[in-house]
């Protein structure tokens, strides 16, 4: 845009940048600011993913330099009974940890919603397991699960129960890991639910009370619907934890006994670092991540259908 100004009876035209030029400058500035983050994202996230996918599609024959490409690694993976057992264990582990953890976290959040000194103290106590690394928590529970002399057997024995080999019995070992995981993760999920509860306007609860709704009805008709987005987010976080948390398996059971606690991530570790079968390990990684992304997308789609409150 050109304008005319008078100075000493001389008209000078001053050029001002157009909106398109300003937009381009802003775009270049924004790109320059996010360039370092994009570089690290490509180098440490997308490039490793591309390498894993390429390795999963690369078929190498032992003792031969011949390299082929195809889905042979996936065929060997799905034909492996150990992988099927690991998937089954992971599904049981997911069901046994996600539902109780989220249910307990929601109950704790509702009970500790009010910001009082006593509730603040209880939140600190409940949140303590989250501060422990999973390796440290597993080492702690190693003494809890010791048969006969462990803390759990000691107190159960005083109540008249028989001793249980918590980590050595194939029918019990996976459930022992599930108990540890629920204890470790419930308080972490509780924080998200407390934040979601505090975002719900008190006017809605007051209106429900005036309508004669009981506490159960207020929870079912007001709290749960408005916690839909938070619940979907926590579910995705829980799914990620189910796939990525394996430290307690390494410390406590190493996948045993009889592969009863062998989860998919530990199976990948075994194939890559014990059997040196990187092709099968990469195929298992791609398969597990694909399933995780699909489940996460299905969970997050509930955000679009969730109930939102606008003031």
Q: pLDDT tens for residues 17-69?
A: 677 777 787 888 888 889 999 999 999 988 998 999 999 998 876 655 667 78
Residues 177 and 297 in one domain: yes
Same domain, residue pair 18 and 101:
no
Would you call 100 exposed, middle or buried from its count of C-beta atoms within 10 A (0-12, 13-18, 19+)? middle
| Count of domains observed in the chain | 2
Q: What is the mean pLDDT of the chain?
A: 86
CATH code of the domain covering residue 99: 1.10.3720.10
Mean pLDDT lowest among 52-61, 102-111, 133-142, 191-200: 52-61
Q: Which domain holds residue 36?
A: 2-56
Give the pLDDT score at 17. 66
197 and 254 assigned to the same domain = yes
Q: What is the DSSP string of 89-146?
A: HHHHHHHHHHHHHHHHHHHHHHHT-S--HHHHHHHHHHHHHHHS-HHHHHHHHHHHS-
Q: What integer pLDDT is reported at residue 14 of this predicted model? A: 52
Residues 162 and 43 in one domain: no
Specify if 310 maps to a domain: no
- CA-nearest of 183, 160, 302, 136 to 233 is 302
Domain annotation covers residue 67: no
pLDDT at site 15: 57
Considering the domain boundaries, does residue 65 fall inside one? Answer: no
- Same structural domain for residues 32 and 95? no
In this structure, the answer to whether residues 109 and 27 fall within a common structural domain is no
Cis peptide leading into residue 257 (ω within 30°): yes
**CA-based R_g, the chain, Å:** 28
pLDDT tens, 153-178? 888 888 888 888 999 999 999 999 99
Which pTM does this prediction carry? 0.83
- 92 lies in a domain? yes
Do residues 32 and 119 share a domain? no
């Amino acid at each position: 845009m050109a304008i005319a100004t008078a100075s000493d009876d001389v008209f000078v035209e001053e050029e001002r940048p157009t909106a398109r030029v300003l937009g381009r400058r802003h775009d270049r500035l924004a790109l320059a600011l996010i360039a370092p983050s994009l570089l690290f994202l490509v180098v440490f996230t997308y490039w490793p993913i591309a390498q894993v996918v390429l390795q999963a599609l690369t078929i190498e024959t032992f003792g031969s330099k011949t390299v082929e490409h195809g889905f042979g690694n996936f065929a060997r993976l799905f034909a492996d009974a150990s992988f099927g057992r690991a998937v089954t264990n992971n599904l049981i582990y997911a069901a046994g940890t996600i539902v109780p953890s989220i249910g307990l976290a929601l109950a704790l959040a509702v009970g500790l919603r009010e910001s009082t000194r006593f509730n603040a103290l209880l939140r600190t106590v409940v949140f303590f397991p989250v501060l422990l690394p999973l390796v440290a928590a597993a080492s702690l529970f190693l003494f809890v699960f010791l048969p006969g002399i462990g803390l759990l057997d000691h107190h159960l024995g005083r109540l008249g129960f028989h001793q249980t080999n918590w980590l050595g019995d194939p029918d019990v070992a996976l459930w022992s890991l599930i108990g540890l995981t629920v204890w470790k993760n419930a308080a972490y999920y509780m924080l998200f639910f407390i934040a979601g509860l505090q975002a719900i306007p008190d006017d809605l609860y007051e209106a429900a009370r005036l309508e004669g709704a009981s506490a159960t009805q207020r929870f079912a008709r007001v709290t749960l619907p408005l916690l839909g987005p938070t619940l979907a987010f926590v579910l995705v976080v829980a799914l990620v934890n189910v796939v990525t948390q394996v430290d307690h398996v390494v410390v406590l059971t190493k996948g045993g006994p009889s592969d009863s606690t062998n989860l998919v991530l530990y199976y990948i570790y075994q194939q890559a670092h014990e059997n040196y079968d990187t092709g099968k390990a990469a195929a298992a990684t791609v398969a597990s991540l694909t399933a995780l992304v699909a489940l996460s997308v299905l969970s997050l789609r509930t955000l679009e259908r969730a109930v939102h409150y606008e003031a």
